[in-house]
A and B are shown apart, each in its own frame.
Chain A
């Protein structure tokens, strides 16, 4: 008999499943695809913008929920966010460093500055206020054959932004000529990462970079510095003779993939049975309880009975919500009511013409109680043993306020605690 059935293999699903398995539960995790982490930055955002860039994310979350009771953080509470992220950081110390109370600002591939909180050690030197990059001459270097990274673009924008902030830091771009594999003129970041796991290739890469450098004291490189070897980036720094930092790229995201691989391995290690390709297609109930979930399986499909269910199917982007041509959104597995989804009559533009405006589409989602159970129209849980976590929750535009990982981990923590019969975390 399965104690908990989890749907979704993104950050929220993997954290919930692993926490439950660590507590001794037998857990099945059903996923339609691999999960979204390979598309993620590999960093953990709690809150990046609240009008202005945020320096102290936990404090900002506490302030945010006072003014925005409809925000997911208002039900999750800062305590669950903190304990969930503390747990995650302790689980993956090689991949996540930083202090939950403080954001860092990291350069992007476009040379913009992006606030985030926990981050891979391989990115730390790039933090423009606290890393080596704070008081240095910066070199931005990339291979000609890596089309997803233009060092000139990155360096020019970064120089402009740092100058505007009153900093006298020089930022210089260099290129090296080294395909990931012989003969390739357009190598994937992933191929570079796999090659940089190999010591001899690392040496050649480092040598070419070192030859290009002038008086720069810190080197920004595309985030391809090893996939399986967590020490590859440090070794490269030593070979180059200067601190190096990784700069995130468009997908496939190597830091995101490292996080995915590590978290999936931890889930398996904890005994979670992961079933891929198992799209949730239906469910059975008894009274107010879910009895089993049905999933796609070649042949006849399959029922997965369980005591508890955690739904971490992602939001609209992941197909958990569907938008029809009349502007009406539905949740696709359970038909759960969506807050903000019935916009046909309200004359609301779900997607406005201005990219930077508050896009209502992304705020549509499930309303939940403090144990993360989706609520019906009368504000009662729809099912007594169904919990929803992550991007399903209504009220946040994660990609513009930079809150996705904090919401995912905090809600997974709250749901796992509720299932395990622990006291729901109280806000401080």
Chain B
């Protein structure tokens, strides 16, 4: 068990467990419980099991929680179900952390290692015999959607980039996340081009991983180190500037998960950065509502399914991308209203969870096939990879459509 009075100890034993009325609303919305009997549900493994845990888990079914956070979001009594479960799982895995979970949470290292040999690495990861071997040795599912290295990282583009635009709206700090640098480079470039086009001077401080992958795999000490470092990096740039993020989930780590799950609520640097961090769609939508966003947008007579990532919904801002995309003339935006795509960061990559993740996302994949097999928008990288893998659709960050609307493409 954790030290008395540690963050973990308090979260598990004191804070919100007693607020649970066992009302079952979390069970009605849990996407994992709906598709597998291996997971008895957030109420069972969370507030209910917590009373019996006393240092040990009741059983290991908790490991099948995907940490999507839906239970906390829908709870009417403010029970921190997902947070309780994240901490309990970290405790459960403490002394037998699988090598695989240590490896797949190193997102920056993965991007950096793949980059110099990008075509080779991409080909190797698509080569089935190797993937079967990897699955057998470390438990990464042979079909799991692993990211493709983009080759030239965003930061290399940035270092050769000459800013354009009037730069008369002030400055913003840009948070691209690991994926924006190594894998989803085009999204990061388009974000910078939009921000410059509408008049901002963009500052891109050096930045590393937010620690979310480590956190969701129970590697709390590593996660704390990473998120603190990121906060320091982003906070270095001139204070008080807004930080604009294209990493829909990672921004949640800065804004609340580091405090709620890792217990870093007293860290002033993190607090400061968290308060200044804005999802890029929310940032643009706010400008639009203040009449400060140029809306000379080209019509786009397309239909797009928009899927909101769980970690984005957990930030309690609704789905700003929907309101923003609805400003694009002629664009038909269909909200997925599906709880989760299944991937939940690294969950769906794991051998024993790949099929569960695919079943969780099935209603979403079916909707995409029905409504707009050509185009899907989603704010988080790992969800986009899962969607591309299972639907074959073109899946973009919502701002790609804004980039098009400005004719910047």
A-to-B contact residues, CB < 8 Å:
1, 28, 32-36, 38-39, 181-184, 188, 190-191, 194, 251-252, 257, 265, 268, 273-279, 295-300, 302, 314, 318-319
Query: Which residues of A sit under 8 angstroms from B29, Cβ to Cβ?
Result: 34
Q: Nearest Cβ distance between residue A296 and chain B, in whole angstroms?
A: 6
Q: How far, in angstroms, from A36 to B316 measured CA to CA in the complex?
A: 18
Q: How far, in angstroms, from A357 to B329 measured CA to CA in the complex?
A: 60
Cβ–Cβ contact B23 & A251, under 8 A: yes
Q: Which chain B residues (312-326) contact chain A, with CB distance < 8 Å?
A: 313-319, 322-323
Q: How far, in angstroms, from A268 to B27 measured CA to CA in the complex?
A: 22
Query: Which residues of A sit under 8 angstroms from B315, Cβ to Cβ?
Result: 277, 297-299
4 more contacts with CB within 8 A, not counting A34-B74, A251-B23, are A190-B27, A295-B316, A298-B316, A318-B76
Cβ–Cβ contact B277 & A299, under 8 A: yes
Q: How far, in angstroms, from A404 to B318 measured CA to CA in the complex?
A: 28
For residue A269, which residue of chain B has the nearest CB?
B335
Cβ–Cβ contact A275 & B317, under 8 A: yes
Cβ–Cβ contact B73 & A276, under 8 A: yes
Q: Nearest Cβ distance between residue A137 and chain B, in whole angstroms?
A: 34
Known: A36-B76, A319-B77. A268 touches B335 (CB 8 A): yes
Q: Nearest Cβ distance between residue B311 and chain A, in whole angstroms?
A: 10
Q: Nearest Cβ distance between residue A358 and chain B, in whole angstroms?
A: 23
Among A34, A295, A296, A302: residue with most chain B CB under 10 A: A34
B-to-A contact residues, CB < 8 Å:
23-25, 27-29, 33-34, 37, 41, 72-78, 252, 254-256, 274-277, 289, 313-319, 322-323, 335, 337
Query: Which residues of B sit under 8 angstroms from A28, Cβ to Cβ?
Result: 318
For residue B274, which residue of chain A has the nearest CB?
A299
Q: Please, could you name 16 A-B residue pairs with CB atoms under 8 Å apart, sorted by A?
A: A32-B78, A33-B73, A33-B74, A33-B77, A34-B76, A38-B24, A184-B37, A191-B34, A194-B34, A257-B28, A265-B337, A277-B314, A278-B318, A297-B316, A298-B317, A299-B277
Q: How far, in angstroms, from A301 to B34 measured CA to CA in the complex?
A: 32
Cβ–Cβ contact B323 & A273, under 8 A: yes
Q: Nearest Cβ distance between residue B369 and chain A, in whole angstroms?
A: 17
Q: Nearest Cβ distance between residue B175 and chain A, in whole angstroms?
A: 12
Known: A276-B316, A298-B255, A298-B316. A39 touches B25 (CB 8 A): yes
For residue A194, which residue of chain B has the nearest CB?
B34
Partner of A181, one of B37, B73, B252: B37
Cβ–Cβ contact B27 & A274, under 8 A: no
Cβ–Cβ contact A252 & B25, under 8 A: yes
Cβ–Cβ contact B28 & A296, under 8 A: no
For residue B21, which residue of chain A has the nearest CB?
A317
Query: Which residues of A sit under 8 angstroms from B72, Cβ to Cβ?
Result: 277
Known: A38-B28, A190-B27, A298-B256. A275 touches B75 (CB 8 A): no
Q: Nearest Cβ distance between residue B27 and chain A, in whole angstroms?
A: 6
Q: How far, in angstroms, from A298 to B254 measured CA to CA in the complex?
A: 9
Q: How far, in angstroms, from A191 to B254 measured CA to CA in the complex?
A: 36
Q: Nearest Cβ distance between residue B326 and chain A, in whole angstroms?
A: 9
Q: How far, in angstroms, from A191 to B40 measured CA to CA in the complex?
A: 11
Q: How far, in angstroms, from A251 to B26 measured CA to CA in the complex?
A: 11
Query: Which residues of B sit under 8 angstroms from A273, Cβ to Cβ?
Result: 318-319, 322-323
For residue B76, which residue of chain A has the nearest CB?
A33
Known: A183-B37, A188-B27, A298-B252. A276 touches B274 (CB 8 A): no
Q: How far, in angstroms, from A268 to B337 measured CA to CA in the complex?
A: 10
Query: Which residues of A sit under 8 angstroms from B256, Cβ to Cβ?
Result: 298-299
Query: Which residues of A sit under 8 angstroms from B75, Cβ to Cβ?
Result: 33-34
Query: Which residues of A sit under 8 angstroms from B25, Cβ to Cβ?
Result: 33-34, 38-39, 251-252
For residue B289, which residue of chain A has the nearest CB?
A1
Q: How far, in angstroms, from A34 to B70 measured CA to CA in the complex?
A: 10
Q: How far, in angstroms, from A206 to B13 measured CA to CA in the complex?
A: 46
Q: How far, in angstroms, from A375 to B274 measured CA to CA in the complex?
A: 39
Q: Nearest Cβ distance between residue A380 and chain B, in whole angstroms?
A: 32
Q: How far, in angstroms, from A181 to B275 measured CA to CA in the complex?
A: 45
Q: How far, in angstroms, from A188 to B27 measured CA to CA in the complex?
A: 9
Known: A252-B24, A257-B28, A300-B275. A32 touches B317 (CB 8 A): no
Q: How far, in angstroms, from A28 to B277 measured CA to CA in the complex?
A: 23
Q: Nearest Cβ distance between residue B241 and chain A, in whole angstroms?
A: 14
Known: A297-B317, A298-B317. A32 touches B76 (CB 8 A): yes
Q: Nearest Cβ distance between residue A210 and chain B, in whole angstroms?
A: 27
Query: Which residues of A sit under 8 angstroms from B318, Cβ to Cβ?
Result: 28, 273-276, 278
Query: Which residues of B sit under 8 angstroms from A1, Cβ to Cβ?
Result: 289
Among A39, A188, A252, A277: residue with most chain B CB under 10 A: A277
Q: Nearest Cβ distance between residue B202 and chain A, in whole angstroms?
A: 20
Cβ–Cβ contact B28 & A190, under 8 A: yes
Q: How far, in angstroms, from A181 to B318 measured CA to CA in the complex?
A: 34
Query: Which residues of A sit under 8 angstroms from B41, Cβ to Cβ?
Result: 188
Q: Nearest Cβ distance between residue A218 and chain B, in whole angstroms?
A: 29
Cβ–Cβ contact A298 & B314, under 8 A: yes
For residue B37, which residue of chain A has the nearest CB?
A181
Query: Which residues of A sit under 8 angstroms from B317, Cβ to Cβ?
Result: 275, 278, 297-298, 302
Partner of A252, one of B27, B37, B254, B335: B27
Q: How far, in angstroms, from A20 to B234 measured CA to CA in the complex?
A: 42
Cβ–Cβ contact B313 & A39, under 8 A: no
Query: Which residues of B sit under 8 angstroms from A39, Cβ to Cβ?
Result: 23-25
For residue B29, which residue of chain A has the nearest CB?
A34
For residue B313, which residue of chain A has the nearest CB?
A276
For residue B319, which residue of chain A has the nearest CB?
A273
Q: How far, in angstroms, from A128 to B74 measured CA to CA in the complex?
A: 36
Cβ–Cβ contact A251 & B76, under 8 A: no
For residue B273, which residue of chain A has the nearest CB?
A299
Q: How far, in angstroms, from A218 to B23 measured CA to CA in the complex?
A: 32
Q: How far, in angstroms, from A38 to B29 measured CA to CA in the complex?
A: 10
Q: How far, in angstroms, from A202 to B255 measured CA to CA in the complex?
A: 46
